[in-house]
Amino acid sequence: TSTGTTSTGTTSTGTTSTGTTSTGTTSTGSTGVVAPDYALDFRGATGLFQTKTFTPTTRRTNVTVSAWVWLNAYKTSDQFIVFVGTVGANGFGMVVNASATLSTSFVSVVYKYEDVAVSSYQLPLREWVFLSIVSPALNAWNIYADGVLKASVTGNAASMVAPASRSIFAGSGQANRNNFDGKLDSVQVWNCVRTGDQLRADSLPMYPFGLNGYEPELALYLPFMEGAGSSTVSVGSAGGRAYNISGTVIWALHDYAHMTTSTGTTSTGTTSTGTSSTGTTSTGTTSTGTTSTGTT
């Protein structure tokens, strides 16, 4: 008997090539924002601006006060930056508090005149900072610098009296007390709580870059665009009101050279996808032998 043989086919397995993904990089450009803008330079002696004909807000909370601030020196007495109301009677404001050693002079919130809620944030000297105090709840205040939260303080509830005397001061307390030694620009009062992102937008120079004065809840906007004279005029929905400037105050240039906007472009990388080659299987055939029967 002759037995046939079986041939077994082999299977070839294809390989898969995996493509790689190249990730593009983002290049951030820097465009300087330079506007023909001015600031008021308070020399820490007798300068202030004030009005007794308009109260931008009568709120005790849900309010924001902001300004560009350049502090020239720490002092051993409080320095009033902006105050809404009548010092000694009502209202609130932001101050640089007194420091005997000049090493713990912090931005603070003041009620009326005598009660100061001292924060832990210290203004740098001789550089521009967009400073804001924001009250999200009664007697609660958040202090922001350039739209970044720096500190939170709690005021003395017993001393909080809503602004009611139609006054606002900057650069000094009432009757030239506690004068500010530095520059101010873009004073704003909002009848709402501004967020960090909103504050950063508020800090841009006047339209077309930033505010136009007609934004909802913007109660007072003083961009100091005059550059000369003894008064400055508010802009926007609360516009046309003259704020008298008195004492040792001079006009200074604020060119916003310290501020940049990013306008870079982003290049997006492409992904190359590899292809898979599938191997084929060859099946062997079986040959069946035949059986031959011999004769005897």
pTM for the model stands at 0.76
pLDDT attached to residue 29: 42
The residues near 144 (Cβ < 8 Å, ≥ 6 apart) are 130, 131, 132, 133, 134, 150, 196, 199
Closest among 179, 170, 24 to 93, alpha carbons compared: 170
Output the CA torsion 225→227→232→236 (10° steps): -10
What is the distance between the alpha carbons of residues 29 and 10, in angstroms, rounded to a whole number?
61
- Per-residue pLDDT tens, the chain, 296 aa: give them: 666 666 566 655 666 656 665 565 544 444 444 555 899 998 876 666 666 566 788 889 999 999 999 999 998 888 999 999 887 888 999 999 987 666 678 999 999 877 889 999 999 999 999 999 999 999 999 999 999 999 999 999 988 999 876 678 888 876 667 889 999 999 999 999 999 999 999 999 887 788 999 999 999 999 998 999 888 888 988 777 888 887 778 899 898 877 754 444 444 555 545 555 555 555 555 555 555 555 64
Q: How many CB atoms lie within 10 A of CB 113?
A: 22
What is the distance between the alpha carbons of residues 253 and 229, in angstroms, rounded to a whole number?
14
